[in-house]
Amino acid sequence: MNPVTPQDVSPHDVSPHDLRYARWMQRGALLGFVLLLLSYALYLGGVLKPAVDLQRLPQLWTLPVADYLRASGSQDGWYWLSQLHQGDYLNVLGIAVLASVTPLCYLAVLPGLWRAGEHALAWIAVAELLVLLCAAAGVLGT
């Protein structure tokens, strides 16, 4: 295979996949930041009562996470999703949205990559989505 130098590659500007990814990234990040700030205001403002009282937190945050969960009566996994009426758990929603931006961006560019014949990159995207799905589902992490 003949080596290719940068001078040989055909110049191209930003690919449509990169632009699509950027659009989704921007929208998702904005949504995540807004949710994070709003829910934090509701949490600290006392509008929504937290599951773990704020005054009790200084005694709990020194503990390893397993002990913290036991002492605070919290649970791991997706338990937070059923507790969104509580200020602290609602805050987790904004964090989860930020952590969902990347898989959404990959999903957004996947069909375009496939249609453009970029099958190798499309399969890499599928593999990445599987890794993220396993991490999010707790298959790998719990």
Partner 1 sequence: MLCAVALVLMTLGLFNLAAAAEVVALTDALGSAAEDWWLWPLALFAIALVIGVVSVMGGIGGGTLFVPVVGALFPFHLDFVRGAGLILALAGALAAGPQLLRDGLASLRLAMPLALFGSVFSVLGAMVGLSLPASVVQIALGLLVCAIALLMLRSSVAAEQGGVQADAIAQALGIRGRYVDPADGSAVRWTVHRTMGGVPVFALIGFMGGLFGIGAGWANMPALNLLMGAPLKLAAGTSGLLLSVVNTSATWVYLNRGAVLPLLVVPTVLGVMLGAMLGGRLLRRVSARTVRYTVIVLLLAAGLRSLIKGLAA
Rank residues 25 and 114 by Cβ distance to partner 1 and give the closer one: 25
Q: Which of 48, 68, 84, 114 binds partner 1 (CB under 8 A)?
A: 68
* Residue 42 engages partner 1 in binding (rule: CB under 8 A): no
How far apart, in whole angstroms, are the C-alpha atoms of residue 97 and residue 33? Answer: 9
The residue count for binding partner 1 (CB under 8 A) is 77
Rank residues 115 and 120 by Cβ distance to partner 1 and give the closer one: 120
3 state SS for 91-133: HHHHHHHHHHHHHHHHHHHHHHHHHCCCHHHHHHHHHHHHHHH
* Residue 73 engages partner 1 in binding (rule: CB under 8 A): no
Give the nearest distance from C-beta 114 to partner 1 in angstroms.
14
How far apart, in whole angstroms, are the C-alpha atoms of residue 126 and residue 130? Answer: 6
Q: What are phi and psi of 77, to 5 degrees?
A: 70, -145
28: number of Cβ within 10 Å = 20
- What residues numbered 75-134 form the site for partner 1, per CB under 8 A? 75-78, 80, 88-89, 91-92, 95-96, 98-99, 101-103, 109, 118, 120-121, 124-125, 127-128, 131-132, 134
* Residue 29 engages partner 1 in binding (rule: CB under 8 A): yes
* Residue 1 engages partner 1 in binding (rule: CB under 8 A): yes
* Residue 49 engages partner 1 in binding (rule: CB under 8 A): no
How far apart, in whole angstroms, are the C-alpha atoms of residue 37 and residue 137? Answer: 25
Give the nearest distance from C-beta 80 to partner 1 in angstroms.
8
Place of tokens 């996994």: 77
